[in-house]
Amino acid sequence: MKNILIFLSLLLFYSCGKKYPEIDSDKLSGYWEIQKVHFPDGNEKDFDVNLTVDHIELKGETGSRVKVNPNLDGTFTTNGVAEEFVLKFENDSLRMHYKTAFDEWTETVLEADDEMLKVKNENQVIYSYKKFQNKNLFEN
């Protein structure tokens, strides 16, 4: 009986101490260029050249994603349409819950670091992004 109580105590301690994945939500902010899309059937689509980049800005547990176009002088242009989201830890995962006037959806963050962002949507499609570095081509 004593062994069972010790086992149950350890199990309770372990489950209460369970941590969320090692994803630093601060790494989401920045400019992200789509690199590859992985479909559930195993097919992939590569993106070698991108005319738009996703700009993600995080403020606490809320954020926005805006499509921007890089310019040759190092600036960006956009149509100003932002997709707002709320970050939540659910089921041991970091999730981005989007809501617009037209739709609602969720993306699960699979990886996020200084160079790469990988998210999975509700249809099990995985989007891989790399950090975008805009350069002013007119500077010497």
The full set of domain ranges for the chain reads 23-131
pLDDT higher than threshold 50 for residue 3: no
Share of the chain above pLDDT 70, in %: 82
Task: Over range 9-32, report the average pLDDT.
Answer: 60
CATH number of 23-131: 2.40.128.280
pLDDT at 23: 65
Share of the chain above pLDDT 90, in %: 65
Q: Confidence class of residue 47 from pLDDT cuts 50, 70 and 90? A: very high
pLDDT higher than threshold 70 for residue 43: yes
pLDDT at 22: 55
pLDDT at 38: 98
Per residue in 53-76, pLDDT (tens digit) is 999 999 989 999 999 999 999 899
What phi and psi, each to the nearest 5 degrees, are found at residue 16? -70, -30
pLDDT at 40: 97
Per residue in 101-134, pLDDT (tens digit) is 899 999 999 999 999 999 999 999 999 999 998 8
What residue has token string 């902010």?
29
Q: Confidence class of residue 10 from pLDDT cuts 50, 70 and 90? A: very low
pLDDT at 31: 95
Collect contacts of 132-138 with beta carbons under 8 A, ≥24 apart: 132/30, 132/31, 132/32, 132/33, 132/53, 132/70, 133/31, 134/31, 134/53, 134/70, 134/74, 134/75, 134/76, 135/74, 136/72, 136/73, 136/74, 137/72, 137/73, 137/74, 138/72, 138/73
Inter-residue contact 32 to 131 (CB < 8 Å) = yes
